[in-house]
Amino acid sequence: MTTPDLFTHNRVILTHFDSYSAALLFPRWETSLLWPAALPQAATPMPSPAVIEPAYSGPAVKQALVERCGLNPDELERVNEFNHWAHTESGPVRIHLLRFTSFEAPKAAIQALGGEFKPISLLRGSAMSELLLLREVFNLIVGAGGN
C-alpha cells in the first residue's frame, strides 16, 4: 500500500509531553489536529474491528509518517493504549497517537510541515470530535504521569 493510500484510512495525532513542566503540546494543522487531514464531517466513532488489517498497522503508519515528513523515528513512539476508530463513507479510519520523546518539542520540524505546537488550552475552536480525542490523550498521558 502506498503512503497516500495508507493515510486515506489512517490519521495521526502527534503530541509532546514534558514531564518536568507537565506541558502537553499538540500540533495544529490549519484547521485540524489530525495529520494529514481532518476526518470527514460525517465521520462517527466506531468500535475497533475484531481483526485489524495491514492497512491499519500502527508501525506502518509511523514509518510512513517518518518517511513522508522527515521526522526522527528514534524520537517518536506509538502509544498503543490509544485505540480510536471512525466510520466514514469510504470505510473505517483508524486514529493513531504518536508521541515525541525528545527533550523539547520539535517545533521547527512541525512548522516546516505547516503545523504549530499549541497547548490544549489554546485549541478551543477546533472540531469538537477532535477535542474529545485530545481529552482522551490528556487522560492517557497526563493521568498516567507521562509514562
C-alpha cell at 28: 495544529
For the chain, the straight-line distance linking the first and the last C-alpha, in angstroms and rounded, comes to 33
Which helix (H) or strand (E) element contains residue 29? strand 23-29
21-54 pLDDT, tens per residue? 788 999 999 889 999 999 998 999 999 998 889 8
68-82 pLDDT, tens per residue? 999 999 999 999 999
pLDDT at 30: 87
Count Cβ atoms below 10 Å from residue 104 Cβ, excluding itself.
10
* pTM given for the model: 0.92
Report which of 138, 73, 126, 63 is spatially closest to residue 100, judged by C-alpha positions.
Answer: 73
79-122 pLDDT, tens per residue? 999 999 999 998 999 999 999 999 999 999 999 999 999 998 89
Cβ-contact 106, 71 below 8 angstroms: yes
The structural domains of the chain, ordered by start, are: 3-141 (3.90.79)
Count Cβ atoms below 10 Å from residue 50 Cβ, excluding itself.
5
